[in-house]
Structure 1
Amino acid sequence: MDEDLTLSSGACLRIMKAPIDDSSTWKLQPNVQFLSIKQVTNPAGQGGPDRYRLIISDGTHFIQAMLATQLNHLVENGTIKKLCVAVLEKYTANIVQNKRLIIVMNVRVLGVTAEKLGNPQSLDNTLPAATTNNNPSGTSTTPAQQQFNATTSSSVSGGQSSVPQQPQRAGDRGAIFPLEGLSPFQNKWTIKVRVTQKSEIKQWANAKGDGKLFSCTLMDETGEIKATAFNQAVDDLYDRLEEGKVYYISRARVNLAKKKFSHLSNEYELGLERNTEIEECRDQVNVPTVKYTFVPLKDLENVPKDTTCDVIAIAKETHDLSEITSKSTGKTIPKRELTLVDRSGFSVRLTLWGEQAKKYSTTGQPVVAIKGVKVGDFGGRSLSMYSSSTMAINPDITEAHALRGWFDSAGSEANFQSHSNAMGSSSGSGGGINRSEMKTLQQVKDLNLGGSDKPDYFSSRIIVTHMRNENLSYPACPVEGCNRKVTESSEGWRCERCDRTHDKPEYRYILTLSGADYTGQLWLQGFNDVGMVLFGMPANELKALEDRDKDAYDSTLKKVLSQIVNVNCRAKQETFNDTTRIRYGINRIQPLDFTVDTELVLDQLAAFVQN
């Protein structure tokens, strides 16, 4: 049976004119039509996801609204589209420069019509003085509003609304607000949030003086926000907030987020002050729960460097606590590394820092769910915990139970592939191989890529025509993440960086090769991951092969020649002994995928013929 696509006439008028604290309005679930959906891109240099602006109609009037960012995927996958009719299951209002902006936080699509329903007229969203009336019963209603009230009253009465109802408390300074709806233009609100992370108290000092601070991450069902307290507020509030608990919070400042110090997508952050009100929520009904958007380890290659994501994996190996010395401060920083694996067949290194590294003492091979972990490009792909990142050990969620069952039954004996083996080196920040924008080697020269002060990156398809066979590898420190060259002594192999002597080194590739295409040739440098792709074996194995079977070793070297590979390269101008030249380094390398690459060539030929 088809859904009823009748619009709730009068809904837009009531939504735009009702007082902000008229809770009865925000419980209603009107049928509306989306007349327009427009992507709003963040200005350059500002973080956070893009937003979607909506024009919503009730058949009589139309108004502007914004889609909550957690619903962006509904537009991107085509669920929400122009002329679709939907139920606004959850929404709120935000006051910006004396105008009311509606934020849609949950919708249920009913269907799509062939044309616009009704003849809706624009409704001014400037906030009239009447909307400040805190007595909803004192506001007048128009016939359109009365019609809407009559058609929707049955869906509200009896608790049928799917919008979670928040308990009212004595002393409330405003309605319960979703984090998505907060802005600096409001001062009467209360949020109901879970503390997912709380930092240690940090001391700071600069030319203006010294002080202390702490920060925490708060979340509800609509998003996350950072909250920070300074100086006296630290003494007043630090012990009142605990990780994992849910609180009502009000009387805090809403400021623009300082993206330099925050990795959350929210454009705002909270300033906690001495008069900020914090009350623990002991009612466990409709409390916010941590929500993850897990990325399989295999797909980390598609996650941009220095951005954050959520992962769930088995901590297959836990390395000992170590320390590094900060170059900027000279202080030692505790460090611990975990090797993570998951069902995608990949492994990745995760680094914990500071207190996180010291406090991690879990034994065995637990399931870890990590929210907001930083993606790096060391060794192909790596993960690193921010101070705002959170880790749950063996969480009671469906994904964790499924992962545990897989690992115990089959995963513990599986072989795992690292991103370095699969995708090649990523010593630069040039991103992945872009097949659609391949450059010939002559184009690289004609464009003078690498000829400026900053490096340039390009993707090309080359054939390996020559390789310098001398010193294909070097003896490196076997400590993971070090890779410093070691020197042999009577006691073993000495690493000056780690201040340790090892029984044997871990050989790593260091290559110089000639790459060519139909337009020209370039000399390229590559490191360990490039050698792994070209030789198909670690440098240790190639070194051992050279020592025991010279013929087999020579045959292996010859097989490298004439290989066709896709590469992403870094071009950078360097000066040595008063001679300036451009150095080309392989940033990523992939063997040719004949299916994918052939289809791309065919598409390019078809486009050429059409033009």
Structure 2
Amino acid sequence: MADAALAQITQGSLDAIFNDPERLQKEFPVPVCQCVQIKALGSQGEGNPERYRIVLSDVKNFVQSMLATQANHVVHDGKLKKGSIVRLKQYQANSVKGKRILIILDLDVIENLGELDKIGEPHALAVKDEDEKPANTTIAGNGFYGNKPAQPAQERALPSRTGPSSSSSHANIYPIEGLSPYAHKWTIKARVTQKSDMKTWHKASGEGKLFSVNLLDESGEIRGTAFGDQADTLIETFQEGSVYYITSPCKVQLAKKQFSNLPNDYELVFERDTVVEKAMDQDNVPQVRYNFTSVNDLQSIEKDGTIDIIAVLKEVGNVDQIVSKTTQKPYDKRELVLVDDSGYSVRFTIWGKQAVSFDANPESIIAAKGVKVSDFGGRSLSLLSSGSMTIDPDIQEAHKLKGWYDSQGRTENFASHSNMASAGAAGGNKDPLKTVAQIREEQLGMSEEPAYFSVKATIVYIKQDSFSYPACSNEGCNKKVVEGGDGTWRCEKCEANHPKPNHRYIMSINVNDHTGQLWLSCFDDTGRGVMGISADQLMELKENDTAAMEKAFEEANCKTWIFKCRAKMDNFQDQARVRYQVMNASPINFAMEANKLAALIKQYSLE
């Protein structure tokens, strides 16, 4: 077996990769090496994929190498192990601090040769002085096995560009995966998959503006940000979907994970002399790269994790407005319900302009990238500002999902993760929408663990005597404040006095459906939706215009909502009772309800 492996290994190919490109093209179009060491480096940030460092040997030499995250599957599938013989299908040769490092973008494991002891006594690859290095030794896309012949990644620059003009060739195309703070004199060729709006900030130390783009090539993704004058210069240059050459000087720094959902340890900051040119060839760079998670697998994703998802749009909610607890600014949001062929549904929230302009029809296919997983009501999703969403994408996964929904999914019932918020297990009720009678008959909330359900019901009464409480005005603090003798309001948690409180809803409402009635407890977000005004505004009416206050309550009555609730045992005056707390309330979407009824009629008519 060792003799067979030795016959296949391309001895001398590692030296040719770094020091003799002409020999590499002629003698080693597809290098074959032995993996003599493999080590998991672990994640360097929440949501980042694991990184693997390997040592490759061609019997004569060995070189430190790094697996690109897109190639991690060979380790996860158990194919690549210490002693494996591999074909290098696509790779990038780099020099970092005088050391040779090979970035492996794609490789095949020759599995029939098995796992062997180290063959030969390879030596560390010699490092030549910079003056002795042949030109253009860094080759991207080299060694495509069974795809296209190896060739240097040399492409002619375009005359139109942002930055200093030049007619030189792009002879040093780096993969995004290979960028680091130690890489210099590089050019990447990447597609803009997402561009943010221009943002401004104001602080005591000054003010400024910025925008960011997500960049994608075959090896990976990276975020780039432009500040100040560079932002003004580049904001119109970068267009979503287009491909660009970006050439250093450009700062590569550790990624600020709170602002990006991309699985890259680094990010770019565009500098004054960074060169950005639109590429003539727009087709040989991927459009977008997804790593989809199915809806039923969301229970295994940690809170605040970031995923990609593809699903069928089942329901579309109306645009609501909430006020941020930290900034006190209003934000538009819209809740969607997504389902897939795993038999589960999930709430998906989109924000801002995207929420307002959203006009996709139910049964469309939604593909979203950069989606945050929340544990609110079990599991729910929210599109990050750095994320993106596509309606009916022309990809295989979308066509497969559409076929399933048209053939059988349209009439299926779907389980919700909200039914399993505490259990944390797959399964649960296949129909989370309950009638009042079912809630009582199934004794939801009577066990030690809380139960989650939805109920479609109409508001028939709202208690008016105590609909809110005075809360602290400090950002992030909603504790109750007490009025002092001097007219100020005291927050014991913040140890601060306020001239007036910030009233927040804490409402009790009675709702009915055709099977019975139920008392529900509502907090501030739900109260704002039900009443249509803030608790501060309603309190002002109570103090100054009783008739107007009563009219506001009257207008809120007799409206039907979908209430998503949590049922849990509570003690009140030494008596145990079930408390039904509203987690979220959505007004009825009459078009969706009509579609549901039409589907039921069709279903029963076929039976």
Do the two structures share a fold, i.e. TM-score over 0.5?
yes
The structural deviation recorded for 1:51 is 1.2
Q: Secondary structure at the match of 1:511?
A: strand
For residues 362-401 of structure 1, the aligned pairs below 5 Å read: 362-401=360-399
For residues 571-590 of structure 1, the aligned pairs below 5 Å read: none
Q: Is the 8 A contact 1:233 1:272 kept in 2?
A: yes
The structural deviation recorded for 1:15 is 3.1
323, 329, 335: which one aligns with 1:331 = 329
State the partner residue of 1:37: 38
Amino acid at match of 1:128: D
Q: Structure 1 pair 293/131, CA: closer, same or farther in 2 (3 Å)? A: farther
The structural deviation recorded for 1:507 is 8.4
Amino acid at match of 2:105: M
295, 305, 311: which one aligns with 2:293 = 295
Deviates more, 1:196-205 or 1:69-78: 69-78
Amino acid at match of 1:51: R
204, 209, 234: which one aligns with 2:206 = 209
State the partner residue of 1:58: 58
Q: Structure 1 pair 502/345, CA: closer, same or farther in 2 (3 Å)? A: farther
Deviation per residue, 1:526-555 (Å, 9 max, x gap) = 9879xxxxxxxxxxxxxxxxxxxxxxxxxx
497, 512, 518: which one aligns with 2:528 = 497
For residues 99-114 of structure 1, the aligned pairs below 5 Å read: 99-111=99-111, 112-113=113-114
State the partner residue of 1:12: 14
Mapped partners of 2:578, 2:169: distance in 1: 63
Amino acid at match of 1:511: K
Q: Secondary structure at the match of 2:296?
A: helix
Mapped partners of 1:185, 1:104: distance in 2: 18
The structural deviation recorded for 1:156 is 9.0
Deviation per residue, 1:241-270 (Å, 9 max, x gap) = 111111111132212212222222211111
The structural deviation recorded for 1:132 is 4.4
The structural deviation recorded for 1:484 is 6.5
Aligned-pair identity (%)? 40
For residues 145-160 of structure 1, the aligned pairs below 5 Å read: 160=148
The structural deviation recorded for 1:14 is 2.6
State the partner residue of 2:567: 510
The structural deviation recorded for 1:163 is 7.2
Q: Is the 8 A contact 1:314 1:367 kept in 2?
A: yes
Amino acid at match of 1:214: F
The structural deviation recorded for 1:186 is 2.2
The structural deviation recorded for 1:60 is 1.7
For residues 441-590 of structure 1, the aligned pairs below 5 Å read: 485-488=507-510, 496-498=527-529, 499-500=531-532, 501-503=556-558, 506=563, 508-512=565-569
State the partner residue of 1:118: 119
Q: Secondary structure at the match of 2:298?
A: helix
Deviation per residue, 1:303-332 (Å, 9 max, x gap) = 111111111111111111111001111110
Q: Is the 8 A contact 1:65 1:101 kept in 2?
A: yes
Mapped partners of 2:452, 2:16: distance in 1: 73
Mapped partners of 2:120, 2:5: distance in 1: 22
Amino acid at match of 2:395: I
Mapped partners of 1:496, 1:219: distance in 2: 43
Amino acid at match of 1:396: D
State the partner residue of 1:238: 235
Q: Secondary structure at the match of 2:110?
A: strand
The structural deviation recorded for 1:231 is 1.0
Mapped partners of 1:226, 1:25: distance in 2: 37
Mapped partners of 1:379, 1:26: distance in 2: 61
The structural deviation recorded for 1:369 is 0.7
Q: Structure 1 pair 77/5, CA: closer, same or farther in 2 (3 Å)? A: farther
Is residue 206 of structure 2 the alignment partner of residue 218 of structure 1?
no
Mapped partners of 2:145, 2:291: distance in 1: 35
Scaled by the length of structure 2, the TM-score of the pair is 0.67
RMSD: 4.1
Q: Structure 1 pair 36/468, CA: closer, same or farther in 2 (3 Å)? A: closer
Deviation per residue, 1:578-611 (Å, 9 max, x gap) = xxxxxxxxxxxxxxxxxxxxxxxxxxxxxxxxxx
State the partner residue of 1:356: 354
Amino acid at match of 1:70: Q
Mapped partners of 1:263, 1:27: distance in 2: 38
State the partner residue of 2:168: 171
Q: Which runs of 5+ in 2 are unaligned?
A: 158-166, 427-442, 459-503, 512-518, 533-555, 582-607
State the partner residue of 2:149: 161
Amino acid at match of 2:528: R
For residues 129-144 of structure 1, the aligned pairs below 5 Å read: 129-130=130-131, 132-134=133-135
Q: Structure 1 pair 346/130, CA: closer, same or farther in 2 (3 Å)? A: same
Amino acid at match of 1:291: R
196, 200, 203: which one aligns with 2:197 = 200
Q: Secondary structure at the match of 2:394?
A: coil
Mapped partners of 1:384, 1:54: distance in 2: 37
Q: Structure 1 pair 526/52, CA: closer, same or farther in 2 (3 Å)? A: farther
Mapped partners of 1:156, 1:476: distance in 2: 57
Q: Structure 1 pair 162/412, CA: closer, same or farther in 2 (3 Å)? A: farther
Is residue 410 of structure 2 the alignment partner of residue 407 of structure 1?
no
Mapped partners of 2:71, 2:359: distance in 1: 38
Mapped partners of 2:316, 2:238: distance in 1: 30
The structural deviation recorded for 1:362 is 2.1
State the partner residue of 2:246: 249
Mapped partners of 1:26, 1:381: distance in 2: 55
The structural deviation recorded for 1:468 is 8.7
Amino acid at match of 2:391: I
Q: Structure 1 pair 337/513, CA: closer, same or farther in 2 (3 Å)? A: closer
The structural deviation recorded for 1:181 is 0.7
Mapped partners of 1:7, 1:242: distance in 2: 45
Amino acid at match of 2:227: F
201, 226, 230: which one aligns with 1:229 = 226
The structural deviation recorded for 1:129 is 2.9
State the partner residue of 1:345: 343
The structural deviation recorded for 1:295 is 1.1
Q: Secondary structure at the match of 1:389?
A: strand
State the partner residue of 1:608: none
Q: Secondary structure at the match of 2:89?
A: strand
Q: Structure 1 pair 384/12, CA: closer, same or farther in 2 (3 Å)? A: same
Q: Is the 8 A contact 1:221 1:289 kept in 2?
A: no
State the partner residue of 1:282: 280
Q: Is the 8 A contact 1:5 1:110 kept in 2?
A: no
Amino acid at match of 1:512: M
The structural deviation recorded for 1:49 is 2.2
Mapped partners of 1:525, 1:274: distance in 2: 66
290, 308, 311: which one aligns with 1:310 = 308
Q: Which runs of 5+ in 1 are unaligned?
A: 137-152, 427-431, 435-463, 515-523, 530-611
